[in-house]
Amino acid sequence: MKTILPDASLDQIFRTARTYYGWSDRTVEEKTLRDLYDLLKWGPTSANSSPARFVWVRSEEGKEQLAALAMERNRAKILAAPVTVIVGNDLAFSNNLSKLMPINTDAIRAALAPAPVAEATAARNGTLQGAYLIIAARALGLDCGPMSGFDNHGVDVAFFEGTRIKSNFICSLGYGDDASLFPRMPRLAFEEAGRFA
């Protein structure tokens, strides 16, 4: 029987969760990152295509390489974070379909083969998986600092050379320092964001 999660959980994941770029000294254990992937991987993607790929940048060398490819205002944020994950979309995601979608694989692979379809599928589902990453991280008590202000091509060359993976966004992970927060911005009301039809 499914239940509504307790308010404290909904607060932690959504209502009081914030975007962080300042961090406490608490270490992010490798096990936590593995637990994070083991949660986010269950989020749905079309044809179970699972196109997102992740580079967990945690070494000083990796952080410096990534920071050098970021917009000026994001550099210090990357260097300060315990981990910054690069979320990429693998345009060659179809190679895994025989494992991920063993039923009707050939027909699905053919339907997804045209370049515009493959690109849209990778972008749509890879971005969804990036959102699952943020939700799963918060569910595990981590805080997130997503960023799109970086040189995508440069990151692709530095971190995804020899593959068909294209960087989407990056997301710092850690235990946030509340002192680094700005006042929260509002969100659109139900009626502003949508309508019934």
Ligand X SMILES: Cc1cc2nc3c(=O)[nH]c(=O)nc-3n(C[C@H](O)[C@H](O)[C@H](O)COP(=O)(O)O)c2cc1C
Chain residues that interact with ligand X, rule: CB under 6 A: 18-19, 74, 146-149, 169, 184-185
Strands 143-147 and 83-90 turn out to be unpaired
CA distance 160 to 114: 22
Query: Which C-beta is closer to ligand X: that of 33 or that of 87?
Result: 87
Cβ 87 to ligand X, closest distance in Å? 9
Question: Can you read off the two tokens belonging to residue 50?
Answer: 């699972």
> Helix 152-159 to helix 60-68 angle, to the nearest 10 degrees?
150
Residue nearest to ligand X (CB): 149
Query: Which C-beta is closer to ligand X: that of 114 or that of 149?
Result: 149
Cβ 16 to ligand X, closest distance in Å? 10
Cβ 149 to ligand X, closest distance in Å? 3
Query: Which C-beta is closer to ligand X: that of 150 or that of 159?
Result: 150
Rg (alpha carbons) of the chain, rounded to whole number: 18
Cβ 75 to ligand X, closest distance in Å? 11
19-35 in b/e form (b: 16+ CB < 10 A) is bbbbbeeeebeeeebeb
Cβ 101 to ligand X, closest distance in Å? 28
CA distance 32 to 37: 9
Query: Which C-beta is closer to ligand X: that of 85 or that of 147?
Result: 147
Query: Which C-beta is closer to ligand X: that of 76 or that of 113?
Result: 76
Question: Can you read off the two tokens belonging to residue 154?
Answer: 């440069």
